[in-house]
Amino acid sequence: AQSVTQLGSHVSVSEGALVLLRCNYSSSVPPYLFWYVQYPNQGLQLLLKYTSAATLVKGINGFEAEFKKSETSFHLTKPSAHMSDAAEYFCAVSGDSYDKVIFGPGTSLSVIP
């Protein structure tokens, strides 16, 4: 069975500081991993995805994530936070069938001016 955990339901960073949002997964098959962002009162949109090519994945808005199989992690980072990054972030894992897409509980990111 697959699962996703996100450490920290809420993270606050200062504007210009490093953003680090943590995601750990478990999967019985080689995983595909995703990060989605949800701005207030909107649907989710894809930030980036890992599909077994490069382990360091670059996404939109300056975000990137590194797949570490030994640590079963897929943490999301951004070198310098911007006020517009304030949103909810969801990590997701998919395996070998559509109904096996699992979302983590989400991390709410606040950016302090």
Instruction: Provide the 8-state DSSP code for 75.
Output: E
Cβ 49 vs Cβ 33: under 8 Å:
yes
Closest CB 113 distance from other proteins, rounded Å: 26
Cβ 99 vs Cβ 2: under 8 Å:
no
Cβ 56 vs Cβ 45: under 8 Å:
no
Residue from the set 57, 74, 76, 106 that interacts with other proteins by CB under 8 A: 106
Residue from the set 45, 61, 80, 110 that interacts with other proteins by CB under 8 A: 45
The H helix count followed by the E strand count for the chain is 0, 12
Residue from the set 18, 20, 29, 112 that interacts with other proteins by CB under 8 A: 29
Regarding 32 and contact with other proteins (CB under 8 A), the answer is yes
Contact track, other proteins, 60-99, x by CB under 8 A: ------------------------------x-x-xxxxxx
Regarding 24 and contact with other proteins (CB under 8 A), the answer is no
Instruction: Provide the 8-state DSSP code for 15.
Output: T
